[in-house]
Amino acid sequence: MDRLRDYVESQARSQASGGEKNTGKRKWWRWPAIGCGGFLGLLFILAMLGSQISQNKADEIIALGKSDKEAQTEKLAEANDSVLNALEKLNPGLAEQERQRREVEQKQLEAAAKEKKLAEVENKYRSALERELNSMRENPTMDDLEDLKEEEFYVAILIAGRAQILADAPENISPDTKKLQQEYIRLLKAFQSDAFPRLRRQAVQKWREKLWANDVKVRVAGSRSDRVTFTAGIFAANRNKQAAHDGVLEVLKLLRFKRDTYEWYRGSESSYWDLEPPSDDVIATIGDDNNWTPVSLAER
């Protein structure tokens, strides 16, 4: 470092004494470029200084322990890795003790962070349960949904959204949250059992009104109104049956119909498609293709 400083000062004196021609223009001082070797040498010097500082700090910590153990513990906690490496050469036991303490502390911090994250997730889940529970307590059946009860699509999506809350439930929840969850499941199943037959009857009534002008009759059957039959002369052709089925399939799946039948007059030869939806009270999420996927409630 002294040699580098001497070199810079000598260059400055040379420039001040007329080492450069006076051109009458403003002079610009430039620091000399340090070559690769000089740069590596500078790094080596800095490394040596850092090593010496760490060594001195390690000596200080050892000496402090002879008079004040508490102060020594504080200094150990503040020490960086370089100081600990230096301390390991002087007192391996003390250095190892500090490393172990740091490992324990790090694990404790990680455990606390994980616990905080889990608590945040459960609180978010609990808030969702409470919000929908309040709605189901106030509106336990479709008749109570004044704004939605005539809209089959929105009621089905509401049911699917409530199921998704359960599907996204955290694995471990507190007893209080579990109690809320059980009430949620009970009310949702009851709502679904009441809603789906109504939704299917409403859909059939709308189809009947819309298709009347095209001479298509629609009727619903089954104890839970889960079978629908379309009757029209156009269904004498199989291609028309297939086209009609394809056109209505997404709604059939959404509303959990079990069968759709097509005949060209009542009692004639017919074609039908059996669908396999979950039962009306099964809590399930819905995909982009309108297929329902039951939520596993075994551990809930």
pLDDT in tens, 61-76: 667 556 566 676 666 6
For residue 8, the model assigns a pLDDT of 44
For residue 7, the model assigns a pLDDT of 45
- Torsion sign over Cα 104, 108, 109, 111: positive
Region 112-141: mean pLDDT is: 91
Cα–Cα distance measured from residue 283 to residue 162, given in angstroms and rounded to the nearest whole number? 9
Mean pLDDT of the chain: 81
pLDDT in tens, 190-247: 999 999 999 999 999 999 999 999 999 999 999 999 999 999 999 999 999 999 999 9
pLDDT band at 20 (very low <50, low <70, confident <90, very high): very low
Query: How distant is the alpha carbon of residue 13 from its chain centre?
Result: 67
Cα–Cα distance measured from residue 64 to residue 58, given in angstroms and rounded to the nearest whole number? 10
Q: Which residues have a Cβ under 8 Å from the Cβ of 153 and sit 6 or more positions away?
A: 254
Lowest mean pLDDT among 26-40, 152-166, 234-248, 285-299: 26-40
Higher pLDDT, 115 or 164: 164
Residue 118 scores a pLDDT above 70: yes
Region 19-32: mean pLDDT is: 46
Cα–Cα distance measured from residue 74 to residue 197, given in angstroms and rounded to the nearest whole number? 71
For residue 272, report the phi and psi dihedrals to the nearest 5 degrees.
Answer: -145, 160
Q: Which residues have a Cβ under 8 Å from the Cβ of 62 and sit 6 or more positions away?
A: 87, 90, 91, 94
For residue 17, the model assigns a pLDDT of 54
Report whether 264 contacts 256 (CB < 8 A): no
For residue 91, the model assigns a pLDDT of 77
Residue with tokens 């590596």: 40
pLDDT band at 99 (very low <50, low <70, confident <90, very high): confident
Q: Which residues have a Cβ under 8 Å from the Cβ of 197 and sit 6 or more positions away?
A: 224, 225, 226, 280
Region 175-183: mean pLDDT is: 95
For residue 122, the model assigns a pLDDT of 94
Residue 9 scores a pLDDT above 70: no
For residue 21, the model assigns a pLDDT of 46
The interaxial angle of helices 152-167 and 238-254, nearest 10 deg, is 50
Query: Which tokens in the block code for residue 201?
Result: 């009857």
Higher pLDDT, 247 or 98: 247
Q: How many CB atoms are closer than 10 A to CB 48?
A: 10
For residue 144, the model assigns a pLDDT of 72
Region 176-197: mean pLDDT is: 96
For residue 29, the model assigns a pLDDT of 44
Region 47-73: mean pLDDT is: 61
DSSP character string of 52-100: HHHHHHHHHHHHHHTT-HHHHHHHHHH--HHHHHHHHHH-HHHHHHHHH
For residue 228, the model assigns a pLDDT of 98
Higher pLDDT, 141 or 43: 141
Residue 133 scores a pLDDT above 80: yes
For residue 263, report the phi and psi dihedrals to the nearest 5 degrees.
Answer: -140, 155
Higher pLDDT, 160 or 32: 160
Region 242-264: mean pLDDT is: 97
For residue 39, the model assigns a pLDDT of 42
